[in-house]
Structure 1
Amino acid sequence: MADTMRGVYTNLTEIRRNVFREVASICYRAGKDRNMTRADIDDAFDELPYKILPGDVATYRESVFLERAIIGERIRLAMGLSLQGVDRPQRISDGFNEAEVDNLSYYEPPLINVIKFACNACQDNVYEVTNTCQGCLAHPCREICPKKAITFVNHKAYIDQDLCIQCGQCFKVCPYGAIHHHVRPCAAACGMNAISSDEHGRADINYEKCVSCGQCLVNCPFGAIADKSQIAQVIWSIQHGEEVIAAVAPSFVGQFGGKGNVGKLREAFKLLGFSGVEEVALGADLCTVQEAEDFLEEVPAKLPFMGTSCCPAWSVMAKKEFPDHAGAVSMALTPMTLTARMIRMQRPHAKIVFVGPCSAKKLEAMRRSVRSEVDFVLTFEEMAGMMEARDIDYLSLEDDDKSDFDVASTDGRNFAVAGGVATAVANAIKRTYPDCEVKVVNAEGLDNCRTMMKDAIKGKYPGHLLEGMACPGGCVAGAGTLVAIRKSAAAVKRYAKRSPHMNSTENIYCDLIPTLEKGFTKQDQDNEVTETFEAQIPKSPRQ
C-alpha cells in the first residue's frame, strides 16, 4: 500500500509534533529549573493534554475528553512509558521517576502500540456495493459470485456478508467500478500480516509477527498507533553532563529543511546539547566493503545468493520466515553499528544516539548478542520536536563553514534510497575486480521482499545480490521521516554527489573493519530473530 499521507501536513502530524515538542520542553525545563520538584514535573505532564487541546469543544472526535485521553496515551509513549488505558485512575507520569533513575533499562515491550480507544475499528477485507451501482441488465457480479452472495434489492446489487468469501470476483467484473474493497489502512500497510481485529473490531498487533517497521503507524489516519520514544532519556543524559554524540543516518538530508546544510545541522545539535555529530554514511561505506567481501567469498561457492543486512525489518523477516536460508542474509554489521563502534573507539565513555528514519532501529540497538554500542535511538520527527522545544529555527542558523561530514562516499550516502545498498556493493566489487559482473535485484516493502526471497529460493536469482528494504522507497520512507518520499530521495542524491569520493572502498576507515566486527559470530546472527521478537512481546496483561 502506498503511503499517501507522507509529506502532507495533517492534523495528525500536528498532534504528533506537538506531543514530542511539549514532552521535550518539560524535560529541558526540569533540568534547567532547579526549583522544579517532582510534583511540579508530574503536574506539568498532567496539564499537557489541556495545553495541546485547549477549550471544551472537541476538534477532531466526538468528545474532547476522548481526545485528551488519547493525547495522554501518546504523551506516555513519547516519555518511553507503557500505555495505561482508561479503566483506572492514573497520572500520565506514573512510572516516569523509575525510568529516570535507570534510563538504560526503562524499556517495557511492546515498541509499537495500538491505542485501542483511538482506533476507528475500520472494516478489513470487506466488499460492499456503493451508490454508483446502476442495476445493469447483465448482473455480472451476481453471475460470477461462487457463493451466490449477491442479490438485487430495488434494482441495486447487495452483498450478503455472511455468505461472502472475499474472493473479489465481483469487484473485478463490475463495469461501473461500483463495488468497493474496504481494507484497514494499517493492515494493508503491514507487510508481515501482523494486524488483525480484536473482539471489538479494533486493530490488534500480533507481536510474534511484527518486525517494528512502523508502516502501520504512519498509515493509520486516526493516529491510533504509535511507538515509544527516548526523547526524555536523551535529554536526561545531556543534562547530567554526559558526552552525548549523535550518529545521523544518511536519510537526514532535507528532513529539517534546506538542501543538505550540514553546517546548520551541526549547529542545531550543538544548541540541543549534543557534544558532536557523525555521519552514519561512514558506517555504510564499511558495511558495503564487508558485504562485498562476503559476496565474493560465498556466492556462488557456498550460497546460491546473498541478501543485504542493513535493514533490520527485512533481515529479521527473511530469517524468521525462511529459516533454512537465514545464512543467505549477509552477516555484515549494519551502518548504525559500525559507526557507533567507530565513535566508541575514540570516545569510550560517550552516550551514542542514532538519529534516523526507522522504528526498527530502536529494537536493533537493544540487542544483547550483537552489541551495537548505541545507547538511544531517535527518529527525525522526534528530533524535530526537540528542536521546536528549544525554539531552534533550523534554516536561520549560521553555517559553521566547515567541510561536509568526514569523507563518506557517494555510494555510502545513497544507502538511504532504495537500490542504493546493492549499487554500492556492486560498485565496490567492480572497483576491485573490474571483470566481475554482479547481478542485483532489490525489493521495497516487506510483501515484495518476501516475494523476492521466494523467487530466489526457487532459483530465479542465481548468484544475485538481493537488497531488501522494508519501507517502500527505502530509508527515506521510514516511519520517523518528515518529508515526502520523492523529495527526500532527490535531496539525498544531490547531497551524495557532493562527496569527493564515489566508491565505498575509498573510505579511509576501511582498515578498521576487522577490529569493529570482532566478536560477531554466526550464533549472534541466529539470535537476532529471537531477540527482536522477545523485545516486542508485552509483559503486562493490560497490553
Structure 2
Amino acid sequence: MSFRGINTTVIQIRRQVFTEVARMAYANVKGEKANHMMRKIPYTIIPGEEGKLRKDIFLERAIVEERVRLAMGLPTRRMDEHNSVVSGLEDASIADKYYDPPLVNVIKFACNRCPEKLVKVSDLCQGCLAHPCMEVCPKHAIVWESGRSTIDQEKCIKCGRCVDVCPYHAIVKTERPCAAACGMGAIHSDSLGRAEIDYSKCVSCGQCLVNCPFGAIADKGQIYQLIQSFNRGDRVYALVAPAFVNQFPQLATSGKLRAALKAVGFCDTVEVAIGADLCTVDEAKDFLAEVPEKLDFMATSCCPAWSMMAKTAFPSLAKNISMTMTPMVFTARMMKTADPEARMCFIGPCAAKKLEASRRHVRSDVDFVLTFEELAGIIEACNIDFDALESENTEEELHYASGAGRGFAQSGGVAKAVADKIHEWYPDKEVKIASAQGLAECKKMLMLAKAGKYNGYLLEGMGCPGGCIGGAGTIADPVRTAAQLNKYVKDAPYQDPEKSPFMSSIHFLKDDPDFEG
C-alpha cells in the first residue's frame, strides 16, 4: 500500500523540497546567488548537528540534495565521482526545458537494500507439535532446529504455502515495497542489493516512489522551470485534472482553487474534464467504427502508463489502443488554439503525464506538468492566506464540464462515459465493458484479450489503483477522494458530454499532421 493520506516523514521531506525549490525559483536569482540558495536548501530542511532520521546528518543532507536536483529536473549524481550539488543548475534555469530521461530515479545511497522476496519465520513461532509448515512445503525447505521451524532460503521457492497454514501467523512473506508496487516487474537489485529500475519495462507510473518507506525513489519535476516562466511574464494556464477534488482541503471549491492558482502566478484555470468530454465522444465514434469490423476489441487511451504498457508488453495489440487524444492534450490544444502565445501547465495526479508531455507530438501543446503534491509545495512557498482568498467565479463557459468528463478520474469512469454515449446514440446496441486498475491487473486483462476472451469489448485500463485518484502525485486518501469525486460528478452543470460548448472543436483539434494519437 502507498502512504497517501498519512503524513509520514518521507512525505514531509518531499513536500519541503518542493517548497524550497519553489522559493528559490520565485527569488529569481542567478549565478552565484542561485548556487548559494541551492546549497543552503539541505541545511534548511535538515537543520542542526546531529542526525535524527538516519542517525547520520551528512547522509540525510546528501539525500535531500539529490531530491532537490530531481525536483529541478536535474539528474542524480554518480556516487563514485565528485560532482557539486549545483552542477547543471544553469541548464535547469530555462523556462522552456523538458524532462531528460529517465523520469523516475533511484537515489542509491537512500536505498535500504530490501530483499527482493523473502519468506521468514518470526519470533512468534511456538514450535508446535503439528508443524504444518514443514508438511506442506513442496521443497522440504523447512527444518526443525532448537525447538522452532527454520527455512533454508536456498531451497525456498517463496510459494507462501507455509504462510497460509501457520496457526500463529508466525511466518511472513515480504517483498521489496517498490517492487511489489511495480506492475511491470521493472525493479530488481543491483550488485550491491540496491533497487534498480529496468527502463525498458518502466512506464513511469510512479507507484514505486510513493511506496518506498525510505524515500529512495523520486521523479523529476518542472517546478523551477514553471516559475521561471512566471518570472519572465508568460501567460500560463493551469489545466487542472478532476482528481483535484479532496487534494487541498483549504481549497475545497473550484473557485477557491482558481483564486489560489492566480495568486501563485497562473493567468487562469481550466478544467481538464472539458477535454474528457471531447475524448468521450471521439472514443465512442472510434469504437463504433472499428469494433468488430476492423478490431476484435478497443482499449481506452487516456492513461499514459496503461497505453505505454500495452504497446510495449503487447506490441501486436498496439492497434487496439484508441487513437483518441487524451483529455490533457485535448484541453491544452484547445487553449493553445484560443491563445497561441500562452503556455499550458497540466496539474494532476500522474507521474506518467510528465512522460507523455515530453513526447515530440505533445510538446507543442503541453509545456509543463505538475503533480498535486508539487503544486502543494508551490502554494506553501507563496504563503497564501487561504481565509483571505475570495472565490473566483467559475460559472463562465470556459470552465463548464460534464459529470461524465469529471468521472474520468475514477477507475471505470472512462469506459462508462463512452458506453453510455454509445447507448444513447444506439439504444439497442450492447457495449460490453471490462476494466482493470493497477498495471499488474491491466496486464492480466490484456493477456485474456489476446487470447480472444474480450472480443467485442471496450477495455479500460488505469495504471494506478482506483484510477487517477490513486495516482502517484496525489496527496489525499484515495477512498475519501472517491466519495467526494462522486459528489463533484453529480454537481456538474450537465451530465451529457455532448452538451459541451467545445464539442465543435473536436475536428479541427485533430486536424494536425503531427498528431499521432
**Superposition TM-score, scaled by structure 1 size:** 0.92
Judge conservation of contact 2:236–2:344 (CA < 8 Å) in 1. yes
Judge conservation of contact 2:361–2:514 (CA < 8 Å) in 1. no
Runs of 4+ in 1 over 4 A off after TM superposition: none
1:151 aligns with 2:149: no
Alignment coverage as a number of residue pairs: 516
CA distance 1:447–1:394, shift in 2 (3 Å): farther
What pairs with 1:133-148 in structure 2 (closer than 5 Å)?
133-148=125-140
Deviation at 1:153, TM superposition (A): 0.9
For 1:393 and 1:146, the matched residues in 2 are separated by: 63
Gaps of at least 5 residues in structure 1 are: 31-35, 526-543
Q: What's 1:491 paired with?
A: 484
Q: Which amino acid aligns with 2:151?
A: I
Deviation at 1:260, TM superposition (A): 4.2
User: What SS class does the counterpart of residue 196 from structure 1 fall into?
Assistant: strand
Deviation at 1:150, TM superposition (A): 1.3
Q: What's 1:300 paired with?
A: 292
Alignment counterpart, residue 461 of structure 1, candidates 436, 442, 454? 454
1:219 aligns with 2:211: yes
What pairs with 1:103-182 in structure 2 (closer than 5 Å)?
103-105=95-97, 107-182=99-174
Report the more deviating stretch, 487-496 or 178-187. Answer: 487-496
Q: What's 1:265 paired with?
A: 257
Q: Which amino acid aligns with 1:11?
A: T
Q: What's 1:244 paired with?
A: 236
Report the more deviating stretch, 385-394 or 19-28. Answer: 385-394
CA distance 1:228–1:199, shift in 2 (3 Å): same
Q: 1:54-87, CA deviations, whole angstroms, 9 ceiling, x for partnerless residues?
A: 1011111020111100011001111110111444
Alignment RMSD (CA, Å): 1.7
Q: What's 2:75 paired with?
A: 82
Q: What's 1:346 paired with?
A: 338
Deviation at 1:372, TM superposition (A): 5.8
Q: What's 1:311 paired with?
A: 303
Deviation at 1:6, TM superposition (A): 1.3
1:430 aligns with 2:423: yes
For 1:297 and 1:83, the matched residues in 2 are separated by: 47
Q: 1:184-242, CA deviations, whole angstroms, 9 ceiling, x for partnerless residues?
A: 00000000000001111111100000000000000001000000000000000111111
1:510 aligns with 2:508: no
Alignment counterpart, residue 84 of structure 2, candidates 72, 84, 91? 91
Q: 1:377-420, CA deviations, whole angstroms, 9 ceiling, x for partnerless residues?
A: 11111111111111014455211244276221000011101111
CA distance 1:289–1:520, shift in 2 (3 Å): farther
For 1:137 and 1:152, the matched residues in 2 are separated by: 11
Q: Identity of counterpart residues, as a percentage?
A: 52
Q: What's 2:348 paired with?
A: 356
Q: What's 1:48 paired with?
A: 41
For 1:494 and 1:318, the matched residues in 2 are separated by: 32
Q: Which amino acid aligns with 1:10?
A: T
Judge conservation of contact 1:449–1:470 (CA < 8 Å) in 2. yes
Deviation at 1:252, TM superposition (A): 1.2
Q: Which amino acid aligns with 1:306?
A: M
Q: 1:465-503, CA deviations, whole angstroms, 9 ceiling, x for partnerless residues?
A: 111000001101111111100111222221221222111
For 1:276 and 1:335, the matched residues in 2 are separated by: 18
What pairs with 1:16-55 in structure 2 (closer than 5 Å)?
16-30=14-28, 36-55=29-48
User: What SS class does the counterpart of residue 158 from structure 1 fall into?
Assistant: strand
Deviation at 1:29, TM superposition (A): 1.2
Report the more deviating stretch, 155-164 or 394-403. Answer: 394-403
**Superposition TM-score, scaled by structure 2 size:** 0.96
Report the more deviating stretch, 433-442 or 463-472. Answer: 433-442
Q: What's 1:534 paired with?
A: none
CA distance 1:155–1:426, shift in 2 (3 Å): same
